[in-house]
Amino acid sequence: MNSGSIRSTVGGFGAILLWSTSVAFARSLSEQLGPVTAATAVYGVSGAISLISLLRSNQNRQRILQLPLRYLVGCGALFAGYTLLLFLAVGSAGNHQQVVEVGLLNYLWPILTFLFSLVLLGKRANWIILPGTLLALVGLFLVVTQGAAPSWQSLCRNLAGNPVAYTSAFVAAVSWALYTNLTNRWVHDREQGGMPLFLPATALIMLLLSCTLEESRQWSFRALTEVLFLGIATYAAYMLWDNAARRGNIVPVIAASYLTPLLSTIVTCIYLDIMPGARLWIGCGALVLGSILSWQAISRVEGSDSEQPTVIRDVT
**Could you read off the pLDDT of 5-28 as tens digits, one per residue?**
788 889 989 999 999 999 999 999
Question: 24 phi and psi, to 5 degrees?
Answer: -60, -50
CB-count burial class (<10 Å; 0-12, 13-18, 19+) for 2 = exposed
Mapping DSSP to helix (H, G, I), strand (E, B) and coil, where does residue 135 land? helix
Nearest to 287 by CA among 105, 78, 157, 100: 105
Select from 256, 255, 277, 253 the least CA-distant residue to 265.
277
Q: Are 290 and 135 in contact (CB under 8 A)?
A: yes
What pLDDT sits at residue 2?
A: 72
Tens digit of each residue's pLDDT (9 = 90 or more) over 267-300 = 999 999 988 788 888 888 888 898 888 878 877 7
Other C-beta atoms closer than 10 Å to the C-beta of 107 total 29
Q: Which pLDDT score is estimated for 242? A: 77
Q: Which residues contact 110 (CB under 8 A, 6 or more apart)?
A: 177, 257, 258, 291, 294, 295
pLDDT of 304: 58
In this structure, how many other beta carbons lie within 10 angstroms of the beta carbon of residue 281? 16
Q: Which residues, other chains included, contact 270 with Cβ-Cβ below 8 Å and sequence gap of 6+?
A: 24
Who contacts 18 (Cβ-Cβ below 8 Å, separation ≥6)? 233, 234, 236, 237, 240
Q: What pLDDT does residue 290 have?
A: 87
In the chain, where the domains are located: 3-301
Which are the contacts of 137, defined by CB distance < 8 A and separation ≥ 6? 290
| pLDDT at res. 316 | 22
**Structure letter (DSSP) for residue 145:** T
Distance CA 129, CA 126 (A): 6
Q: What is the reported pTM? A: 0.86
What parts of the chain have a pLDDT lower than 50?
A: 306-316
Could you tell me if 200 and 47 are in contact, meaning their C-beta atoms sit under 8 angstroms apart? yes
**Burial class of residue 112, CB neighbours in 10 A (0-12, 13-18, 19+):** buried
The predicted pLDDT at position 71 comes to 93
Q: Are 88 and 168 in contact (CB under 8 A)?
A: yes
pLDDT of residue 33: 95
How many Å separate Cα 234 from the centre of its chain?
A: 11
Predicted pLDDT of residue 239: 85
What one-letter code names the amino acid at 38?
A: A
